[in-house]
C-alpha cells in the first residue's frame, strides 16, 4: 500500500509538472510573440514618423526656395545714401516716417492710368484701378500689389495704428485703415512724397 501511495504521488507530481511545463512554454511563446509584434509596431511607427518628418523638411525647403526665387532682393542703403538720393520731403516721409500736410500731395487728385511705385526703390506698389477719393487729403487705395507692402504696428503720437511700408526698401508709405470700399474694405492712406508714378504706356516697357 505504501508503495502504491508513493507511486501515485510521483504520478500526480509528474502529471501536474507536465501540465505546468506545457502551459509555461505556451505562455512564454505567446509572450515572446506579443513582445516581438509590439516592437515591430513601435519600430514601424517610428519609421513612419521619420519619413513624414523628412518629407515635411524637404517640402519646406522647396517652398523656401520658391519664395526666395519669387521675392525681390531687399534694397539696403546707408542713411547718407538715402539723403543724397531723395528730395528732403521724400527723405522725411520715407526714412523718418513723416507725414505730409493733407490736400497738398502731388498724387492726391491724380487720376492718370498707370502704376504707383515707391519713390525710394521703384517697387510697384499700387495700380490706378484701386485708387479712389476717400476725402481724407491723401492718395487712397483699396488694395496693394501682392507682397509689395508690409504692415507694422504703430503706437506713435498716442494712437494705435497700422503702418504700411515698402516691402523692398522698408520706406514709410503711410497707414492702413478698415474703412475702405469693397471688395477689401481697406483704405491704404499713402503720402504722395513716398510715391512715384509710371503711366500706363511706360509701365508696359
DSSP annotation of 141:
E
At 42, is the pLDDT very low, low, confident or very high (cuts 50, 70, 90)? low
At 49, is the pLDDT very low, low, confident or very high (cuts 50, 70, 90)? confident
**Residue among 182, 110, 108, 184 nearest 144 (CA):** 184
Q: How many CA atoms lie within 13 A of 150 on its CB side?
A: 13
Q: What is the mean pLDDT of residues 116-129?
A: 98
Question: Over pLDDT 90: what percentage of the chain?
Answer: 60
Separation of alpha carbons 139 and 129, rounded Å? 13
> Do 152 and 163 touch, CB atoms closer than 8 A?
yes
Model confidence at 28: pLDDT above 60: no
> Do 151 and 164 touch, CB atoms closer than 8 A?
yes
Model confidence at 50: pLDDT above 90: no
At 69, is the pLDDT very low, low, confident or very high (cuts 50, 70, 90)? very low
Q: What is the pLDDT of residues 14-25, one digit of tens each?
A: 554 555 555 555
> Do 193 and 93 touch, CB atoms closer than 8 A?
yes
Separation of alpha carbons 84 and 131, rounded Å? 30
Q: What is the mean pLDDT of residues 73-89?
A: 95
Helix, strand or coil, per DSSP, at residue 100: coil
Domain positions in the chain: 1-71, 79-203
- Which of 45-49, 93-97, 178-182 shows the lowest per-residue confidence on average (mean pLDDT)? 45-49
More confident residue, 153 or 205: 153
Separation of alpha carbons 58 and 179, rounded Å? 42
At 73, is the pLDDT very low, low, confident or very high (cuts 50, 70, 90)? confident
**Residue among 116, 107, 81 nearest 95 (CA):** 81
Helix, strand or coil, per DSSP, at residue 189: strand
The domain made up of 79-203 has a fold known as: 2.170.150
By CB atoms closer than 10 A (0-12, 13-18, 19+), residue 107 is buried
pLDDT value of position 59:
59
Residues with a catalytic annotation lie at 189
Q: What is the mean pLDDT of residues 98-120?
A: 97
Q: What is the pLDDT of residues 158-204, one digit of tens each?
A: 899 999 999 999 999 999 999 999 999 999 999 999 999 999 876 55
Q: What is the mean pLDDT of residues 75-104?
A: 96
Q: What is the mean pLDDT of residues 55-83?
A: 68
Amino acid at each position: 500500500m505504501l508503495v502504491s501511495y508513493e507511486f501515485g504521488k510521483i504520478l500526480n507530481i509528474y502529471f501536474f509538472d507536465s501540465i505546468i511545463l506545457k502551459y509555461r512554454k505556451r505562455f512564454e511563446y505567446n509572450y515572446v510573440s506579443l513582445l516581438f509584434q509590439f516592437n515591430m509596431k513601435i519600430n514601424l511607427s517610428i519609421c513612419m514618423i521619420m519619413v513624414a518628418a523628412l518629407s515635411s523638411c524637404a517640402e519646406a525647403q522647396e517652398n523656401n526656395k520658391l519664395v526666395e526665387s519669387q521675392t525681390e532682393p531687399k534694397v539696403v542703403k546707408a542713411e547718407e545714401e538715402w539723403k543724397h538720393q531723395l528730395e528732403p520731403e521724400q527723405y522725411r516721409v520715407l526714412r523718418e516716417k513723416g507725414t505730409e500736410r493733407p490736400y497738398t500731395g502731388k498724387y492726391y487728385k491724380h487720376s492718370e492710368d498707370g502704376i504707383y511705385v515707391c519713390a525710394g526703390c521703384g517697387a510697384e506698389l499700387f495700380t490706378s484701378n484701386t485708387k479712389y477719393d476717400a476725402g481724407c487729403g491723401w492718395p487712397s487705395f483699396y488694395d496693394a500689389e501682392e507682397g509689395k507692402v508690409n504692415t507694422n504696428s504703430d503706437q506713435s503720437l498716442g494712437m494705435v495704428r497700422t503702418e504700411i511700408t515698402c516691402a523692398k526698401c522698408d520706406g514709410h508709405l503711410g497707414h492702413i485703415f478698415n474703412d475702405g470700399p469693397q471688395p477689401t474694405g481697406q483704405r491704404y492712406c499713402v503720402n504722395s512724397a513716398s510715391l512715384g508714378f509710371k503711366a500706363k504706356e511706360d509701365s508696359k516697357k
